[in-house]
Structure 1
Amino acid sequence: MQSFISWMEKHFLPIASKIGNQRHLVAIRDAFVYTMPLMILGAFAVLLNNLPIPGFQDFMNKIFSEQVDKAFIWTKLGGNVWNGTFAVLSVFIAFLVAYNLATSYKVSGLAAGVVSVGSFFTVGGLAGMDSSGLFIALIVGLLSTEMFRKLSGNKHLIIKMPDGVPPAVAKSFAALLPAMIVITFWGFITTLFNAAQISNVVTWFYKIAQQPFMGMASSYPMALLLAFITPLLWFFGLHGANMIEPFMQTINAPAITANLTAFKAGKKIPYIVNKPFFDSFVNMGGTGVTIGLLIAILLVGRKNKQYTTVGALAAAPGIFNINEPLTFGLPIVLNPILFIPYILTPMICVTVAYFATAGGLVPAAIAMPPWVTPPIIGGVIATASWQGGVLAAVNIVISVVIYSPFVYMATVIANREEKTVVSDDATATIDASTSTGDAAKESKGHATV
């Protein structure tokens, strides 16, 4: 195990660290973090409109009997909220990715964001403002910002205004020519696609690339890979969740939208794997299903002072899926005893959750509860069913069973080391007492002489 850890530290850790700090991935990750409240709100709004409780729809329709545009008035609230969240998600991402990336280069984030949004609509973003245009929004956001940054650094393209002109006006004129060039470039690219009989780049890309990719990402092997990589990165002290987040969010938003659409239409939900799938059935207590580790410490690790102390402090945040106190307090990082269960547990939980969903025992996730939603409750909300809560509970039991022998092993080792230390201290005390006694006798002998 030690040789494996040493090999990983030498070869894997530097590469993973560079990837985690790569500015383009960080820009994408932070963009999705900003939009997370909107995505959660939009998912809840649609779920409320279609809550699968017997008699709920009839009850609400009777109370709010008025109809507008062939829909009951009470459902309009959810629809209007969706229009301000999921319906314009790609526009937000186009702006935020560019803003974050430009800011990392110390270039005007606002100017880059505006240029990115303009470029997005230039390539046909009007038809893909929702999650269907997400990939194009990411591509346009990154490339347009790189172009804008390069052009803004050319002094021949900067229009300088005389002194006394308000700063906002001066900045807008400074960005004028670079912005015009970038948007014209995207207009030219779009025209080439139009000449090839592709009327809208966004919808075309969604059909030939994004949809197939989402299907691949929703497969069991991909879910298993994600369940392996995230705790592996955390084991070496890297924030695995943040590093995987750009990929997760890229497949998550379109998958949630497609699942909600299918759910509303009464059709089979197409995508099993998405972020609420991981949050509700795998990352319970945090990465590594550490809610199971906390319970295992309570059951079999009570004689381990370090584990019980850290476990008590980590229990409250652990209920809300925050496990940094455990990760760095036990620690889990570079802990060879906990390495196996920390990696193995989420992979087994993914397997159980995936096949339970694929087999029809549990509905697929259609809503996105906040990631801090306590375990079991999150499963109920994500799937809009009691079966989701049962599946989460089953995975918690599995995680406790896997972690318990390793916690017991750690406890035995800790107690053995503690006894060794006490024994060594006792031996040292006896030796010191003996030395003191001999010294006293010798001193007495000298005094007699």
Structure 2
Amino acid sequence: MDGFIRFMEKHFVPIASRIGAQRHLVAIRDGFVSIMPLVLAGSFAVLLNNTLLQWIPGLGELSGINGNIWWGTFAIMTLLVVFSIGYNLAKGYQSDGLAAGLIAVGAFISVTPQAHGEAGWGYIHWGYLNATGLFTGILVALIATEIFVKLMKKNIVIKMPENVPPAVGRAFAAVIPGVIVLYVFGILGYLITKLGGNSLYDLIFNLIQKPLQGFSQGLASAMIAAMLINLFWFFGLHGANIMDPIMNALYLPALEANASAIQQGLAAPNVVTRVFFDAYIHLGGSGATLALILAIYIAAKKRREYREVAKLSTPAGIFQINEPVMFGLPIVLNPILFIPFILTPGILTLIAYTATAIGLVPPTYVAMPWITPVGIGGFLATGGSIAGGILALVNFAAAVLIYLPFVVLADRQVKDKEKQGNV
């Protein structure tokens, strides 16, 4: 185990650290975080339409209000993400974030088809703007912002006199870079159409996004994603932050597709969504560490430091915050806890995936705050299903059972040392 840890510290940790600090991945992560209030609002609207407004007679007429909220959140999610990523990436370069975000949106619209089906010219179907367009939106936002920032740094700008208000000066400075960016994407969209393609969206969706989303719905890929987060954490790297761009790009469209299907009275098409992990896997934080805390209460007799850390970490753990136990025990670089910490998310994913796939539990389709306590999260994510809450509690019990033998092993180490001290 020591040799493995030394190898990973030497070869894995430096690479993972660079990935976690990579400018574009940070911009994507922060871009999704910025729109989270809108995602939660849209999810709440879908939840209300399919629970209280269905259950209480006479309230069904209010469903149009929630439909409007869904229309202003989930239905245009990609448009929001494009602006947010452009803004955050430009700020990372110490450039004009507002201009970059607006230009990224313009570039995205430039490559989006202006007609859909029988509609005439000038109509954009919402299917291009919701979560299914995220891959296209992310790529356009990153490329458009990169071009914009490079032109700004090369000083290809209109300079205004010093007495001009700063806001006006910034707006004029962005004119030439903005025009160039928009023409780049306008020409790109034109060429794709002329060469026989429908749009950049269709090209990316068919060649990249669709195969990746199909792969991401597999049990093996979901287990690997959950376990990889913990592998980063084991070496002291924030696994959730590092993996967030990938998790959001793959599993947020699945969540939106489920919510959209439920909204239309159809069956949810996806087993694994973004909130699937928060509801059933990250119970108390990455690695289901609230279960580790309970295992410590049950089995740690000699490890007084474990019990003290568990007491201090419990309030935070209830609300899915696990840094106190992660660095307090610590779990980071702890060879005894390595095996359960890595295996637990994989096993919990297997249980939750199987229960959802065979129909014991409804698919997740409602985004809820990641701090939602164990059980409540499963209940909310499945639209108020008791089965979802029970599944989360079953997974929590399974996690406790996985951690227990290793907590006992850590406790026996202290006993062995005491016996050796008495000899």
TM-score by length of 1: 0.87
| 1:189-217, Cα deviation, whole Å (9 max, x unpaired) | 00001113434432553355323321211
Q: Give the unaligned 5+ runs of structure 1.
A: 65-71, 425-449
Q: Which structure has the greater CA radius of gyration? A: 1
2:149 partner letter: R
Identity among equivalent positions (%) equals 45
1:255-274 → structure 2 map (5 Å cutoff)? 255-274=254-273
Q: 1:121-167: CA deviations, max 9, x gaps?
A: 11117442221221111001100111111111233x22111232221
CA distance in 2, matches of 1:8, 1:290: 22
Residue matched to 2:116: none
Q: Which residue number in structure 2 is paired with residue 48 of structure 1?
A: 48
2:121 is aligned to: none
**Is the deviation greater in 81-90 or in 19-28?**
81-90
Following TM superposition, by how much is the alpha carbon of 1:369 offset from its aligned partner in structure 2, in angstroms?
Answer: 1.4
1:120 aligns with 2:136: no
CA deviations on 1:286-335 (whole Å, 9 max, x unpaired) are: 11111210111111114321011000010111111111000000000000
Q: Deviations over 1:358-397 (max 9, x none)?
A: 1111111111111111001111111121111111111111
Tell me by how many angstroms 1:420 deviates: 5.9
CA distance in 2, matches of 1:184, 1:110: 19
**What's the counterpart of residue 251 of structure 2?**
252
Corresponding residue SS for 1:74: helix
Distance apart, 1:415 and its partner CA: 4.1
The reply on whether 1:318 has 2:317 as its aligned counterpart is yes
Q: 1:304·1:415 contact (CA, 8 Å) conserved in 2?
A: no
Write the letter of the residue equivalent to 1:16.
A
Unpaired runs of 5+ residues, structure 2, are 114-123
Q: Which residue of 1 aligns with 2:56?
A: 59
The equivalent residue for 1:382 is 381
The 5-angstrom pairing of residues 287-366 of structure 1 reads 287-366=286-365
Given that 1:132 and 1:203 are in contact with CA atoms closer than 8 Å, whether structure 2 keeps it comes out as: no
Q: How many Å separate the matches in 2 of 1:309 and 1:2?
A: 27
Query: In structure 1, what is the Cα distance between the partners aligned to 2:146 and 2:69?
Result: 33
Q: What root-mean-square deviation, in Å, do the aligned CA atoms of Structure 1 and Structure 2 show?
A: 1.8
Which has the larger displacement, 312-321 or 83-92? 83-92
Contact 1:215 1:271 in 2 (8 A): no
Give 1:98's aligned residue: 86
The within-5 A match list for 1:186-205 is 186-203=185-202, 205=204
**Residue in 2 that maps onto 1:148:** 148
The residue that corresponds to 1:138 in the other structure is 138
Cα-to-partner distance string for 1:54-80 (whole Å, 9 max, x where unaligned): xx62633xx24xxxxxxx531012111
Q: Is contact 1:357-1:364 (8 Å) kept?
A: yes
Q: Name the CA distance, whole Å, in 2 between partners of 1:292 and 1:315.
A: 10
Shift of 1:418: 5.6
Whole-angstrom CA distance in 2 between matches of 1:113 and 1:59: 43
Distance 1:153 1:346 in 2: 45
Take 1:414 and 1:37, find their aligned partners in 2: how far apart are those partners? 47
Q: Which residue of 1 aligns with 2:61?
A: 73
Decide which moves more: 18-27 or 271-280: 271-280
Secondary structure, in 3 states, of the residue corresponding to 1:325? helix
Query: Closer, same or farther in 2 for the Cα pair 1:199/1:20, shift >3 Å?
Result: same
The 2-side partners of 1:240 and 1:81 are apart by: 32
The residue aligned with 1:175 is 174
Q: Distance in 1 between matches of 2:355 and 2:286?
A: 21
